Amino acid sequence: MTVEDRELISRELSRNRSARFIAKALGRHHSTISREIERNGGESAYRAVDAQARCDAMRKRPKERKLVASAALHDAVNAALVEKWSPKQISERLEKDFPDDESMRVSHETIYECLYLQARGELRTQLTIALRKGRARRVNRSRTAVARGRIVDIVNISERPKEAEDRAVPGFWEGDLILGKGNKSQIATLVERTTRFVMLVRIPYDRNAEKVAYLLARKMETLPDFMKKSVTWDQGKEMARHAKFTVATGMPVYFCDPHSPWQRGSNENTNGLLRQYFPKGTDLSLHTQAELDKLAEQLNGRPRQTLGWAKPVEVFNDLLANHASL
């Protein structure tokens, strides 16, 4: 929830608006708004500044997650996941197997949180085999069925970590497709926000979501872990299998608001540059991956004013070198 969201809540509460009214204005579920109000003093005491300060303070807590802090607990949970136990089964069995050891307790909710939200390391690799429905994101059971054609489990760009916004931290990518003649051929474009480093991915024949997720994940495998924090995409159906991409890479996908290309401005700018090479009406399927890599190399070798006239490849390589020396 943003500062602007909290200011709207405070303003509408002063007008005696209900949580349901505010939720509709923000496009949120009413229970989310109710919890936000209650945890920050209730309707009469809610203040946007105080609520934001509390949120910031909670975010900064140097609290290590239980499954990270305890190697024994982590290994026990991971071993059970390999055996295809559910988080609920693991939680209950740990209490039975270690009746006198409080350090070997973990709730099934904590296991789910680690699997879905952390999505890193060994536990991430067990995600698809451990969870019976193979989802990479939890689904609210009270939610009604999603209309056909919509992307399920979208995470809005407003949920993207704030550190992505000022471009000081590398590893946050923006992506999209550029389409060829008759919208029958396509190339995926990926731009790293800090360095403006470009990667191009050939998507042959069609933009089937399974294929797009697989090919993008393969491309991301070429990056070191510190450069794989997230991808921001528009709401094109080609990313309908974003959960599979996240499972394969550990990178969450954040979706822009509809008709808001400025929310991934670096990518839009790059797509504009690419039209110098691929004018509208070009059959993009004629270009090989080797040709696209060569073109990306050329783009990454252009000096950029936003980088103080450094080249994206120079800034990117400097980050790699600095990280390797740590």
What are the backbone dihedrals phi and psi of residue 151, each rounded to the nearest 5 degrees, phi first? -80, 125
Confirm whether 147 is domain-assigned. no
Based on the domain organization, do 272 and 176 belong to the same domain? yes
Based on the domain organization, do 183 and 264 belong to the same domain? yes
26-40 pLDDT tens trace: 878 888 899 999 999
Based on the domain organization, do 28 and 71 belong to the same domain? no
Based on the domain organization, do 104 and 170 belong to the same domain? no
Based on the domain organization, do 113 and 217 belong to the same domain? no
Based on the domain organization, do 9 and 116 belong to the same domain? no
- 300-305 average pLDDT score: 91
CATH code for the domain in which residue 274 is found: 3.30.420.10
239-282 pLDDT tens trace: 999 999 998 898 999 999 988 889 999 999 999 989 989 998 99
Confirm whether 189 is domain-assigned. yes
CB 40 within 8 Å of CB 30: no
- 296-310 average pLDDT score: 92
- 300-313 average pLDDT score: 92
> Last residue of a domain, which of 35, 59, 83?
59
CB 187 within 8 Å of CB 215: no
The pLDDT assigned to 70 comes to: 84
* Crossing angle of helices 289-300 and 312-325, rounded to 10°: 90
The pLDDT assigned to 132 comes to: 43
Whether the per-residue pLDDT at 325 is higher than 60: the answer is yes
Based on the domain organization, do 54 and 72 belong to the same domain? no
Confirm whether 151 is domain-assigned. no
What are the backbone dihedrals phi and psi of residue 33, each rounded to the nearest 5 degrees, phi first? -70, -40
The pLDDT assigned to 42 comes to: 93
The pLDDT assigned to 214 comes to: 94
Confidence class for position 310, pLDDT limits 50, 70, 90? very high
The answer, as to whether pTM is greater than 0.85, is no
Based on the domain organization, do 295 and 317 belong to the same domain? yes
CB 255 within 8 Å of CB 156: yes
Backbone φ/ψ region at 181: left (φ over 0), alpha (ψ -120 to 50), beta = beta
Confirm whether 47 is domain-assigned. yes
116 vs 124: CA distance, rounded Å: 8
Confirm whether 202 is domain-assigned. yes
Confirm whether 138 is domain-assigned. no
179 vs 274: CA distance, rounded Å: 11
Provide the residue type at 72 as one letter: A
- 308-315 average pLDDT score: 94
> Last residue of a domain, which of 59, 79, 95?
59
Based on the domain organization, do 10 and 70 belong to the same domain? no
Confirm whether 219 is domain-assigned. yes
> Last residue of a domain, which of 82, 114, 130?
130
177-209 pLDDT tens trace: 999 999 999 999 999 999 999 999 999 988 999
Based on the domain organization, do 225 and 97 belong to the same domain? no
The pLDDT assigned to 319 comes to: 95
Residue ranges making up the domain that contains 12: 3-59
Based on the domain organization, do 82 and 43 belong to the same domain? no
The pLDDT assigned to 75 comes to: 87
101-144 pLDDT tens trace: 988 998 887 787 676 554 444 444 444 444 444 444 444 444 43
Confirm whether 137 is domain-assigned. no
Domain count of the fold of the chain: 3
Cα–Cα separations (whole angstroms), residue 223 to 99, 171, 199, 226, 297:
44, 9, 11, 8, 15
Q: Nearest to residue 171, comparing CAs of 225, 252, 244, 245? A: 225
Q: Nearest to residue 2, comparing CAs of 165, 224, 162? A: 162
The pLDDT assigned to 5 comes to: 86
User: What value does the mean pLDDT of the chain take?
Assistant: 85
Whether the per-residue pLDDT at 43 is higher than 60: the answer is yes
Based on the domain organization, do 211 and 306 belong to the same domain? yes
